[in-house]
Amino acid sequence: MKSNWKVLALMALLSSVITLAAYNLLGFNQRDVIFNESAPTPTITGRLAALTGNGPTAAPGDFSTAAEAVTPTVVHIRTTMTRTVRQQQVPDIFREFFGDEFGGQGGGRPRRQQGQASGSGVIISKDGYIVTNNHVVQDADEVEVIMTDKRSFKAKVIGTDPLTDLAVIKVEANNLPAITLGDSDALKLGEWVLAVGYPLDLESTVTAGIVSAKGRGIGILNQNARQQNDPKADTPIEAFIQTDAAINPGNSGGALVNLRGELVGINSAIASATGYYSGYGFAVPVSLVKKVSADLLKYGNVQRGYLGILPIELNSTVAKEKGVKVGRGIYVETVVEKGAAEAAGLKKGDVIVKMEGQPLDSDAQMREIIGRRRPGDAVTVTVNRDGTERDFRVELRNRNGGRDIIKKTEATASTALSTLGAEFEELSAQQAKQLGITGGVRVKSIRDGKLAETDVEEGFIIVKANGRNVKTTKDLQAIMSAVKEGEGLMLIGMYPNSSRMYYYAVPV
């Protein structure tokens, strides 16, 4: 009996040592949040789950067990933000008659308006980390989190990722109810799911529906990316879970859960001509949520791996045009020079039919699989080349062509400039000479960003920022990336038709 106890003790000690070694080896000791992830359990699908009650202690036709478990982990998010409205400028010919009543000298100048918005969020750790949508907290001056027990906290935005429409915020609290993360890959079409959130600024609300589709791209994030007018911008990842659970404005950032009460997605959008529920909602799958939130917490920015191809989604028409022998998959239109695909041996004209053993039907599906991985990670790509299938091991690269993690300071240098919400162009040497300056950066156009909150007008030429000379957009970018939280940006410059210097304080 004593020897048995010794064996058991030795096994327990050995198990602890192995666990600790793996914990450190995999880098989890550096992660700021520990997710509560579910154990792999067979998924009960469709109407069978509701009728048989095979979920945890659920009665037939009863969703209450999952609803009661999830509701305390979903919070109400209220944001306050200041937006700038540019009034229509009255033509000069009418100012003499209408004066200030219709704009006068101030016509066309921006007017600051404060507004409020409402959304939802999901607690992913007991120490106060919450995941929500990027569009819920984007440009917010203040973020308030309200729990189901009516407690209210001020929240800090930890990181955002517009390309997946995800964000992580933090409240200073402990022992919070944290949701269990499930497996979105295990979801089946027709499986019952619940949407939990705060629609239309109501109290916590639960609705039920089924999984209508997976890997759905609806173009909403691509549309937002095109509005940024950046030709070098990354392609957003749209591989939504489509559900017919009722979702309305305010549900954004809320939980989509299975009947075991496990998070399978973050509700993000609806298909509607009116702005209200018309039948279908869309959620970011939890596979992406885990990766993006872990990156934001550990690195400060999302670590993206790049395959290095220009893909075209195949159908029978495209297959005929390209002269390929398969009608489904991803056609490789171009292989990027010195990219991951080229290094692995992929060629123009190849058709990717599988990735990590999963048959590929859409570009959105491929982007989701790659979106879960970081630079340096390897993926197995099955290619149909001239009618024969071959496997390639592709080691993903970062956007600079390397395999290293890109630090936040490097990544935010380019994004910092975009917060100004403007398009810039550098002056030529001849233009600078005509103006009597050594160089500068012209504000070509202003969108809805930080510059729109000031009196800066299009055509303004920036010659100094925070006391440093500005001759190129890289100069302005470097100055912007060095601005710390709570600090501002002082721009000094001129307009082409004036020799006077103007000073503008920009709240960044």
Catalytic positions are 135, 165, 252
CB atoms under 10 Å from CB of 478, counted, come to 16
| 193 within 8 A of 66, measured Cβ to Cβ | no
Taken as a whole, the chain contains a residue count of 508
Of residues 308, 314, 256, 318, the one with CA closest to residue 287: 256
What sections of 259-391 are H helices per DSSP? 286-298, 316-322, 340-344, 363-371
Give the whole-angstrom CA distance, residue 128 versus residue 32: 11
The amino acid at residue 385 is R
Tell me 321's DSSP state: H
| 54 within 8 A of 60, measured Cβ to Cβ | no
| 204 within 8 A of 270, measured Cβ to Cβ | no
Q: Which two tokens stand for residue 210?
A: 């089924």
Of residues 472, 506, 73, the one with CA closest to residue 256: 73
Tell me 427's DSSP state: P
Which residue is it, tokens 């992913």? Answer: 124
Of residues 204, 200, 194, 199, the one with CA closest to residue 146: 204
Q: Which two tokens stand for residue 167?
A: 């964000």
Of residues 179, 360, 356, the one with CA closest to residue 264: 179
| 506 within 8 A of 476, measured Cβ to Cβ | no
Concatenating the DSSP letter of every residue in 205-217 gives: EEEEEEEEEEEE-
Half-sphere exposure of 182 (CA within 13 A, CB side): 24
Give the whole-angstrom CA distance, residue 403 versus residue 417: 25
| 264 within 8 A of 256, measured Cβ to Cβ | yes
From the centroid of its chain, how far is CA 328? Answer: 28
Of residues 157, 155, 159, 150, the one with CA closest to residue 172: 155
Tell me 197's DSSP state: E
